Amino acid sequence: MPPATSPIVARLKGVAKSYSGRSVLKGFDFALEAGSVTALLGPNGAGKSTVAGLITGRLAADAGAVTLFDRDPRDADARARMGVMLQAAGLPEALTVAEAVALHAGYFKRRLKTKDVLEQAGLTALAKRRCDKLSGGEQRRVHFALAIAGCPDFLVLDEPTTGFDPEARRAMWRLVREKADAGVAVLLATHHMDEADALADRIVVIADGEIIADGPPAAIKAKVAGSTIRIRTALSPAHLQMLPGAAKVDQRGADTAILTTNARATLEALFSADPALTDFEVASASLEDALADIIANTVKEAA
Amino acid sequence: MSALVSAAPGVYGREAGAEVIKSARMPQFIIPTIILPPAFYALFALGMGNGDVEMATHTLATFGVFAVMGPALFGFGANVAGERENGQLELKRLSPMPAGAHIVAKLVATIVFSVIAFAIIYGLAIFAGVDLSPSQWAILTSVHVIAVFPFALIGLGFGYRLGQKGAIAIANIVFLAMAVMGGLWMPVAVLPEVIQTIAWALPSYHLGELALMAAGQSDAANFWLHAGPLALITLAAAIFAWTGQGRHAA
């Protein structure tokens, strides 16, 4: 009888990890679910790569429990269900794309046909090209092909689209989305907020070894309750700061951005203070704004 | 045992095949490791030996060891360093590939290329009139195949510790130093006394002596005098390689 499939793919429970005396994680709890894309965000050194390292079995926890498919992540049976795309990764230079994919797929008992992997990763035309004759973006697609070759239930993607042009990025996002929709759990580490916003179902923000925000992108953005008003005005930043609802004023040359908790009230006050004002744009706060705000607030509270 | 891990024998075979293909397609590996030793043998031992069969037999034994050093030191030293540096090794470790498959595959490939290199030397030697009995050929071949292991372990130890550039530099130095000081190009007896002493610590010296015994060029009564130190050096090389695992180059 096949084991009942748990929707929890990976779990960290009360995990502690420190490097040469410096504590990175302490009593850390986290769970990853099947069929969704989870992005880990946060400043460098906050613990993102430690969390990813623990789940993939590259690192061992000092205390607490880490499980992948209810097993130790270093267990070969757990690894057999995981596909990894590392940030810094070379390829076997002298092998062709098809040879490299076939070799890697061969490590897995349950695997896709090489032809299908190449097709899914958009590499069919490059099958016979040697790996050392590929562009950066093409190499990255081969890394993705290696990651999916073993029919993984869990995909770990570390900066998957670095060096991509916008079209190639969207193509990669579609590939990842297809996998997630097919039930694969995806853990995404990225520095690109737009990538996390476009791709993730769930965003986990880590700072100083703690989860300070966890939810869908829309909910994270809503945390900075508000919107950004972009204007060109002669009013001074000090004046703008006094407007009702204004939380933050950011002036760059002639352009001013006002982060506001009440766009309507701020705009009404703006119009009466600056009758010359005609050009304005209101947008909901970006994920980047939200993240900066959340992290700044956490640091303030801690201080 | 485990339901999802691929059947091991197939993985070992495919990994070894890939290693052979990778090296065969790289002229920067093939030329110095496979072409150079037979070329040196033809030039120095045969060309300058002027038909001296005794000398051709002597140098056949030692150049055979020389031919093995290249694939072993460069295949393990430089290639492992490169694959570790650029994350290829990490990706394999995160896959369900059996832990030993990568090293076993590299050993197989090293033996394949070593055999090709010293088989060319054997051919040249026969052409030059070297006449060994079948059992002498068999023992000589065994010594030359065994020579793969200490050099491969030394290369692996450096490959785990150094970056690719550093490993290539060290492999070159070790390659030349072991060849010259181990008496593979000219007998140790004609070298300065200091080097004769250093030679005792070199696997190339003992392997050269064992190969000479196999080819009937040296007294086989001294077998343990060289097999003993060789075993100790190989053990030390194994410890050097083992303790280098999981290290990261700065």
Out of A89, A99, A107, closest to residue B95 by CB: A107
| Chain B residues touching residue A89 (CB < 8 angstroms) | 86-88, 90-91
Residue B77 inside a domain? The answer is yes
Residue B4 inside a domain? The answer is no
Of the candidates A292, A193, A214, A224, which has an alpha carbon nearest to the alpha carbon of residue A28? A214
Give the percent of chain B with pLDDT over 70. 95
Distance CA A19, CA B191 (A): 51
Distance CA A196, CA A219 (A): 13
pLDDT value at position A3?
A: 46
Residue B66 inside a domain? The answer is yes
Contact A84 B94 (CB under 8 A): yes
Query: Looking at CA atoms only, how far is residue B75 from chain A in angstroms?
Result: 14
Distance CA A203, CA A206 (A): 10
Distance CA A288, CA A197 (A): 9
Residue B41 inside a domain? The answer is yes
Query: Looking at CA atoms only, how far is residue B149 from chain A in angstroms?
Result: 24
Residue B3 inside a domain? The answer is no
Query: Looking at CA atoms only, how far is residue A274 from chain B in angstroms?
Result: 58
ipTM surpasses cut 0.90: no
Q: Is residue A208 within 8 Å of A302, Cβ to Cβ?
A: yes
In the chain, the amino acid numbered B139 is: I
Domain around B138: 11-244
Of B1 and A101, the structure prediction assigns the larger pLDDT to: A101
Q: What is the CATH number of the domain that holds A236?
A: 3.30.70
pLDDT band at A224 (very low <50, low <70, confident <90, very high): low
Residue A79 inside a domain? The answer is no
Domain around A262: 225-284
Q: Is residue A152 within 8 Å of A83, Cβ to Cβ?
A: yes
| Chain A residues touching residue B82 (CB < 8 angstroms) | 90
Of the candidates B238, B237, B214, which has an alpha carbon nearest to the alpha carbon of residue B226? B214
Contact A90 B86 (CB under 8 A): yes
Residue B93 inside a domain? The answer is yes
Residue B2 inside a domain? The answer is no
pLDDT in tens, B30-65: 998 899 999 999 998 788 877 788 889 999 999 999
Predicted TM-score (pTM) of the model is: 0.83
C-alpha to C-alpha distances, B92 to A132, A299, B5, nearest whole angstrom: 19, 39, 13
**How far out from the chain centre does Cα B207 lie?**
11
pLDDT in tens, B214-232: 999 988 899 999 999 999 9
Query: In chain B, how many domains are there?
Result: 1
Residue B1 inside a domain? The answer is no
Mutate to test the interface with B, among A109, A128, A155 (most CBs of B within 10 A): A109
What does DSSP assign to residue A184? -
Query: In chain A, how many domains are there?
Result: 1
